[in-house]
Structure formats: structure tokens, C-alpha cells
Amino acid sequence: MIVIAGTVKIDPPKRESAKTVMKTMMDATMQEDGCITYQFLFNPWDDSEVYIFEEWESAEALSAHFQTPHMATFREALPNFVTSSFDIKRYEVSEVSNM
């Protein structure tokens, strides 16, 4: 399993429009083969901070995700509300268990 996790800063006055774009991206991505979880989570105490969390069945599924039309549309929209570079990490997970 591949886990993607990180943060990005957005322009607070553009938070609602960012939510709309991110929700569209989430909905489309969750339909992709190999996508387990795809979430943008907005920090309730910092209007500029968004957490990113993704789970993918395989590296191949993640690679295919980057080639989708909705990813291209999303990348085009990012400069409209993102104010910094993404701080994102990729984790390769060999074992998962419930707590």
C-alpha cells in the first residue's frame, strides 16, 4: 500500500472556492481503480492550512492517477488558491492493522 500525507497552504479568502475544486477532485479520484482513500481536510484553527491524505493499493494505481484528466484540471486550478509549495510525503506500507 502507498500512503500520501502532507499539507499545503491556501489563500484564506479563497478557502470556499478551494473546497469546491478539492471536492470535485476527491469525488473523481475515489472512483479510480486502486484508490482506497483520498481526502483534503481543512484545519479548523488555521484557514490557510489543508491536510492531504491518500491511500493507494499500489504504486501502479498512484501512477495512473497522475495521468487522469481530472488531475490535469486540478493542477491547472491550483495556482488560483495555493500560496506555497506542497509539503507531501510518500510512504510504502508493508503491513496495516486495526488499533
Distance CA 47, CA 92 (A): 30
Rounded to two decimals, the pTM is: 0.92
User: Cell 510504502 identifies what position?
Assistant: 92
Distance CA 27, CA 35 (A): 11
Give percent of the chain above pLDDT 70.
100
pLDDT in single tens digits along all 99 residues of the chain: 999 999 999 999 999 999 999 999 999 999 999 999 999 999 999 999 999 999 999 999 999 999 999 999 999 999 999 998 889 999 999 998 999
Exposed/middle/buried for 33, CB within 10 Å: 0-12, 13-18, 19+? Answer: exposed
Supply the DSSP symbol for 32.
Answer: S
User: 59: closest CA among 92, 37, 32?
Assistant: 92
